[in-house]
Amino acid sequence: TTKTTKYFPEEDVISLGGMSPKAIWHMAQEVTPTTRYLNLNGKILEFLEKPDNETVKMIYPLLSHDKERIEYRYARARGSNIETVTIIVEGWPATIWGTTEAEMLEELSTRSIIASPIKSVKKYQDAVDKQGIEAAGPWLKYIENPRQEKLKRLVEYIRARLLEYKT
């Protein structure tokens, strides 16, 4: 997953090694004492490991693209009072999942485009060759790859055009 997200601006990528079911809603900014706002337009949620099932269920409405603006509510105790906090989540983030779990992939396939790495003898041989080159010259991984730089510039160009179109 990290090889994919390196082509996108860092401020657009939220890399998550783990997350509790309601953690994403607590990323929201406070607007009033009982209202919070989270804008996920143009963001990429990168799950480095598969989150637990409850966490995945919490973000299904975002993945379904049912509505561009969704409200979540929860009760919070303040002293002897209980108040309702409204979290307004806007936008549909892209998601990248580091999982091969069949059940999860099946559920995500109804809400996403699924792309899995292709397995072939040539691909494995290329990976072994690359590891050999990196082991022989560990400094080489720090040299910029012109093809990767072109791809990164292309992503930035497309992103800028999309932002222009939206406004």
Whole-structure pTM value: 0.68
Q: For 102-146, how does the pLDDT look when each residue is reduced to its tens digit (9 = 90+)? A: 676 677 766 666 666 667 788 888 888 888 888 887 777 667 677
Give the count of beta carbons closer than 10 Å to the beta carbon of residue 95.
Answer: 19
Q: Which of 54, 87, 89 is nearest to 73 (CA)?
A: 87
What's the whole-number mean pLDDT along residues 145-158? 81
Strands 29-32 and 35-39: antiparallel
Q: For 6-59, how does the pLDDT look when each residue is reduced to its tens digit (9 = 90+)? A: 888 888 998 888 888 888 778 899 999 999 999 998 898 888 887 788 888 888
The amino acid that residue 123 corresponds to is K
Q: For 59-118, how does the pLDDT look when each residue is reduced to its tens digit (9 = 90+)? A: 888 888 888 899 999 898 888 999 999 999 998 888 887 776 767 667 776 666 666 666
Give the count of beta carbons closer than 10 Å to the beta carbon of residue 44.
Answer: 18
